[in-house]
Chain A
Amino acid sequence: MDSFNTTAVKNYSDEDLMEYFQNGEEIAFNELVFRYKDRLHNFLYRYTHNHQDCEDLVQETFLRVHKSKSSYERIAKFSTWMYTIALNLAKSLYKKKQKMHKVSIHKDPNDSEDYEMHIEDTNILPDQELHEKLSLEQLEKALMALPEDFREVVMLRDLQEMTYEEISEVTDIPMGTVKSRINRGRAQIQHMIESYVDLGTSF
């Protein structure tokens, strides 16, 4: 491999950067962080709904990439390897949270452990923006209301723009199942939003 050129860092592929990082080039790691910090944040926020918890999870993902650099093999795409780490972290956090609280979007008044999901945002908005924000909140709720198996593949496809092959690798699910779940997950979201618009009620 050629010697690392700091001025051309933007031109390297993810896999090249990872290899340079394995050879001790910390700048290569920094570039990977720069490339993926926002995408990971956008993905993992849907598991935490809290910026601080999300940042902790994104940091944890990069920390594991940093610590486990020697276990990365170039036969795998860097993003696939990293998203596998991120998804495993997100899933274990999600399971932990589920144990602590029973999450339901249909609040059960007889269940003291049941609570309404709150989408974090404290800004005060004008009417038009408020209407749009409420619709977006319904959309976020619809996404969260999907079964976990469906939600993760829909997010990887539509939020992270991963290919079906990459999603199949990250989730370790056959590609046919990935496609089937994404098709049904997207369809369910549309139906939940349609019900909300038709009935004017939360689902």
Chain B
Amino acid sequence: MKFLEKEYHPVIENYISDYVDEQLDLVERDTFEEVLVHDDDLRELAFSAKEGKKLMSLLKQYKAQEGFEDRLKERIAAETN
């Protein structure tokens, strides 16, 4: 995966982050996508990062188990007294 090893100027890294997070306005996005057309590695990185972010949103959400707060209180009481 050659595109992962390439280093980009911090300004470009900002653009990738903003592109993935959909923080670019329309003009900025069009301009950045024009750059992506001409740079295969950068395009691969930006598109993969965008898909990777979507995948991360699918991960299971784990929650504290029932009674957590009571058990924490007991532990705090035991360790602070």
Contacts and interface: CB of A to CB of B under 8 A. Distances in A.
The answer to whether A and B come from one shared complex is: yes
Interface of A: 30, 33-34, 37-38, 40-42, 45, 51, 54-55, 58-59, 62-63, 66-67, 136, 139-140, 142-143, 154, 158-159, 164, 176, 179-180, 182-191, 193
A186 B79 contact: no
B31 interface: no
A187 B14 CA distance: 15
A187 B52 CA distance: 5
Contacts of A51: 62, 65
17 contacts: A34-B69, A37-B64, A37-B68, A40-B64, A51-B65, A55-B71, A66-B76, A67-B79, A158-B57, A159-B56, A179-B16, A179-B17, A182-B49, A186-B48, A188-B1, A188-B4, A188-B48
B59 interface: yes
Overall SS of chain A's interface: helix
B41 to A, nearest CB: 11
B69 A66 contact: no
A40 B61 CA distance: 11
Q: Contact size class for B? A: 35 or more
Given A67-B80, A184-B45, A164 B17 contact: yes
A85 B28 CA distance: 38
Contacts of A140: 59-60
Contacts of A183: 13, 16-17, 20, 45-46, 49
A186 B56 contact: yes
B25 to A, nearest CB: 19
Given A41-B63, A55-B68, A187 B17 contact: no
A182 B68 CA distance: 32
Contact of A186 (B1, B3, B53, B61): B53
B75 A63 contact: yes
